[in-house]
Structure 1
Amino acid sequence: MISSNNQMLRRAKGLTQEALAHRVGVSRQTVAKWEAGESVPDLANGSALAEVLGVTLDVLANYRPTELGEVPPPRGKHIFGSVRVGERGQMVIPKRAREVFGIEPGDELLLLGDEERGLALVKSSAFLASIERFKREMGAKDSERGE
Structure 2
Amino acid sequence: MFCDNLVSLRKLNDLSQEELADRLQVSRQTLSKYETGESLPDIERCKQLAEIFGVSLDDLVNYDTAATGLNVPPKGRHAFGLVTVGDKGQIVIPAKARKIFNIQPGDKLIVLGDESQGLALLSERDFLAMVQQMRKD
Matches within 5 A, 1:115-126: 115-126=115-126
Name the counterpart of 2:81: 80
Matches within 5 A, 1:1-147: 1-22=1-22, 24-29=23-28, 30-75=30-75, 76-87=77-88, 90-96=89-95, 97-133=97-133, 138=137
What do the CA deviations read for 1:95-145 (whole angstroms, capped 9, x no partner)? 413233221222121211111101101112112223445666x4xxxxxxx
> Deviation of residue 28 (structure 1)?
4.7
What do the CA deviations read for 1:3-50 (whole angstroms, capped 9, x no partner)? 22211221122222233334x442352423322334322111101101
Q: TM-score, normalised by structure 2?
A: 0.76
Rg larger in structure:
1
Equivalent pairs: percent with the same residue?
Answer: 37
Q: TM-score, normalised by structure 1?
A: 0.72
In structure 2, distance between residues paired with 1:133 and 1:25: 43
C-alpha contact (below 8 Å) 2:5/2:60 kept by paired residues: yes
RMSD: 2.6
C-alpha contact (below 8 Å) 1:54/1:74 kept by paired residues: yes
Q: Give the total of aligned pairs.
A: 134
In structure 2, distance between residues paired with 1:3 and 1:49: 12
In structure 1, distance between residues paired with 2:85 and 2:93: 11
The answer for unaligned runs of 5 or more in structure 1 is 139-147
In structure 1, distance between residues paired with 2:81 and 2:98: 10
